[in-house]
Amino acid sequence: MRANYHTHCDFCDGKATAGAMAAAAHAAGYRVLGFSSHAPLPWWTDWCMQPARLGDYVTEVRRLGREWADRGLEVLLGLEIDWVDGETYPRHPRFADLDLDYRIGSVHYVSWGGAERFAVDESAEDLALHLQAAGGPPGRLWQEYYHNLSALVAAGGFDILGHFDVVRKNNAGGRYFSEDDPAYLAAALGVAAQLQGTGIVVEVNTGGMLRGKTVDPYPCLAVMKELCARGVPVTICADAHAPEHFGPCLDAARERVRAAGYRSIAVLSGGVWREVGLDET
Ligand SMILES: [Zn+2]
Ligand SMILES: [Zn+2]
């Protein structure tokens, strides 16, 4: 059963309508499609949904659910909700009454030293400028990122942890830090350990691969092995922003899951999570 829970559309920074995304997923063999627009933030961005559109988003995804129900595609309503200390988080009252099918909790933002907050997955050019402005030792980027990721996991209130180590997105060739640095790995593995027993599902996310930013999915293999050893469930998501994003990196994602020791992935359908054999995805 092929499923994808990390899907953007033109309610946020996706490149197509929700209807076009549903049709593309169905054509690519998916049987469950969850929409997860970037939830509105308390400040303006060009990549999150605007607060005034939240009602229309809910209405449209539910409408698509009815439209596709008899055509072999289960459409689910979700949101990708940011964690920014004290500002926005999955349990925020703003998202309490939406009757969502699931929530993705993600960290995009970091900040330190009084500098402007910035997203670790922004363009390489913008990231370079923000890092220059923030200053501090080179490791500060991943230290702040995993500090926030750990705080997100501790706060809870979500079902799927988004792009575990997206802080690698602009780090091709070890531009900002060594991904083999024991201190870096300890920070990442610490969050993996924290997930044990929480019930949170970790997504194997091919968004960086799809954009040619990384050579492998998030999370890295070392983290995946730790998650497997601790019995943390995983699912596979494209972080799709366009119709052509359904399918291309599925083999790499399955391979990552298998190499880590998993034989099945978690799938949400009919309101319940269950394990499905990798060969059935
Ligand atoms: Zn994200
Ligand atoms: Zn996303």
Q: How far is the CA of 239 from the centre of ligand 1 (A)?
A: 8
Q: How far is the CA of 13 from the centre of ligand 2 (A)?
A: 9
Nearest-angstrom CA–CA distance, 141 and 170: 11
Beta bridge partners of 32: 3, 74
Question: Is there a contact between 13 and 240 (Cβ–Cβ < 8 Å)?
Answer: no
CA angle 14, 119, 83 (to 5 degrees): 90
Question: Is there a contact between 272 and 76 (Cβ–Cβ < 8 Å)?
Answer: no
pLDDT value at position 255?
Answer: 95
Q: How far is the CA of 79 from the centre of ligand 2 (A)?
A: 9
Tell me how far apart the terminal alpha carbons of the chain are, to the nearest angstrom.
Answer: 5
Token pair, residue 152, equals 């997100």
Q: Which ligand lies nearest the alpha carbon of 119?
A: 1
Q: How far is the CA of 37 from the centre of ligand 1 (A)?
A: 9
Does 138 have pLDDT greater than 90? no
Q: How far is the CA of 6 from the centre of ligand 2 (A)?
A: 6
Q: How far is the CA of 3 from the centre of ligand 2 (A)?
A: 15
Q: What is the residue-wise DSSP string for 44-87?
A: --SSSPPGGGHHHHHHHHHHHHHHHGGGT-EEEEEEEEE-BTTT
Nearest-angstrom CA–CA distance, 12 and 264: 31
Q: How far is the CA of 70 from the centre of ligand 1 (A)?
A: 30
205 closest CA partner among 151, 154, 150, 168? 168
Residue 55: what residue type?
G
Residues in the chain: 281
Question: Is there a contact between 130 and 116 (Cβ–Cβ < 8 Å)?
Answer: yes
82 closest CA partner among 144, 184, 151, 131? 151
pLDDT value at position 21?
Answer: 98
Nearest-angstrom CA–CA distance, 191 and 168: 15
3-state helix, strand, coil in the chain (%, to 5): 40, 20, 40
Looking at per-residue confidence, does 29 or 113 come out higher? 29
pLDDT tens, residue by residue, 187-210: 999 999 999 999 999 999 999 999
pLDDT tens, residue by residue, 251-276: 999 999 999 999 999 999 999 999 99
Neighbour tally for 206: CB within 10 Å: 28
Q: How far is the CA of 7 from the centre of ligand 2 (A)?
A: 7
pLDDT value at position 154?
Answer: 98
Does 182 have pLDDT greater than 90? yes
Q: Sketch the domain layout of the chain as residue ranges.
A: 3-280
pTM above 0.95, yes or no: yes
Q: Which ligand lies nearest the alpha carbon of 162?
A: 1
pLDDT tens, residue by residue, 60-104: 999 999 999 999 999 999 999 999 999 999 999 999 999 999 999
pLDDT value at position 137?
Answer: 86
Does 136 have pLDDT greater than 90? no
Nearest-angstrom CA–CA distance, 267 and 272: 8
What value does the CA radius of gyration of the chain take, rounded to a whole number of Å? 18
The order of strands in the sheet holding 234-237 is 3-4, 32-38, 74-82, 102-106, 160-161, 201-205, 234-237
78 closest CA partner among 203, 219, 233? 203
pLDDT value at position 90?
Answer: 97
- The CATH architecture one would assign to domain 3-280 is Alpha-Beta Barrel (3.20)
Q: How far is the CA of 237 from the centre of ligand 2 (A)?
A: 10
